[in-house]
Amino acid sequence: MDDVAHHLGISKKTLYCTAQNKDALVEKTVGRFISQKKGAIEQICERQAAPLPELFSMMGYIACTLGEVSEAMVHDLQKYHHDSWQQLLDFYYQYLFEKIKTNLVKGAASGDYRADMKPEFAAMLLLQVLRLFLRKELPQFNSSGDFVKNCLDFFLVGMATKQGREVCRAYLEQ
């Protein structure tokens, strides 16, 4: 807490007015991080009318922002701050899963994605590939945008209808 207070340029007493201990401070920080990410994803979903651009934007945002979370931070959360780590897992495997699944259902209803696709399976598969990218367990890409483009291009060949592939190609050419 000494280091945190010093880094913020405040006294420890002021810091303890905000959080009773280090766990509480980490929990508040992770909670704020998640809240900001949810807000941004909600804006993406509101801005994009069509499912394909929404999925591209959402995956790009997730890859960029979650890529900011260092391996050391993940390790510390897992080892010392279990509740905060659980918050991040819930965000990833519940909130993001539901957002992606909703997009896939919407895309199937609009004719952009195949109607016979299992949205739960496809959403979990997308999240797992994203997880591999964030953990640097995939071949390196030039940028998170390059990863998203390659990943979604690969998935959409199997998920999209002919109409959806045409929408995808037009979006990628922009």
Mean local confidence (pLDDT), 56-70: 84
Task: Check whether 33 has a pLDDT greater than 80.
Answer: yes
Model pLDDT, residue 66: 75
Please report whether residue 7 resides in a domain. no
According to the model, what pLDDT value does residue 90 have? 94
Q: Is residue 11 a part of any domain in this protein?
A: no
Average pLDDT estimate for 40-55: 92
Range of the domain at 148: 50-173
**What does the pLDDT read at residue 91?**
94
- Residue 101, domain member (yes or no): yes
What's residue 1's pLDDT? Answer: 63
SS3 readout for the chain: CHHHHHHHCCCHHHHHHHCCCHHHHHHHHHHHHHHHHHHHHHHHHHHCCCHHHHHHHHHHHHHHHHCCCCHHHHHHHHHHCHHHHHHHHHHHHHHHHHHHHHHHHHHHHHCCECCCCCHHHHHHHHHHHHHHHHCCCCCCCCCHHHHHHHHHHHHHHHHECHHHHHHHHHHHHC
Residue 88: C-alpha distances to residues 66, 73, 143, 153, 160 (Å)? 10, 12, 23, 27, 30
Instruction: Please write the tens of the pLDDT for every residue from 102-119.
Output: 999 999 999 989 899 899
In a domain, 142, yes or no: yes
Total structural domains in the chain? 1
Q: Does some domain include residue 79?
A: yes
pLDDT at 53 over 80: yes
Confidence of residue 5 (pLDDT cuts 50, 70, 90): low
Residue 83 within a domain: yes
Q: Is residue 30 part of a domain?
A: no
pLDDT at 168 over 80: no
Please determine, for residue 68, whether its predicted confidence score (pLDDT) is greater than 70.
yes
Q: What angle is formed at CA 66 by the lines to CA 99 and CA 50, rounded to 5 degrees?
A: 35
pLDDT on residue 135: 74
- Confirm whether 37 is domain-assigned: no
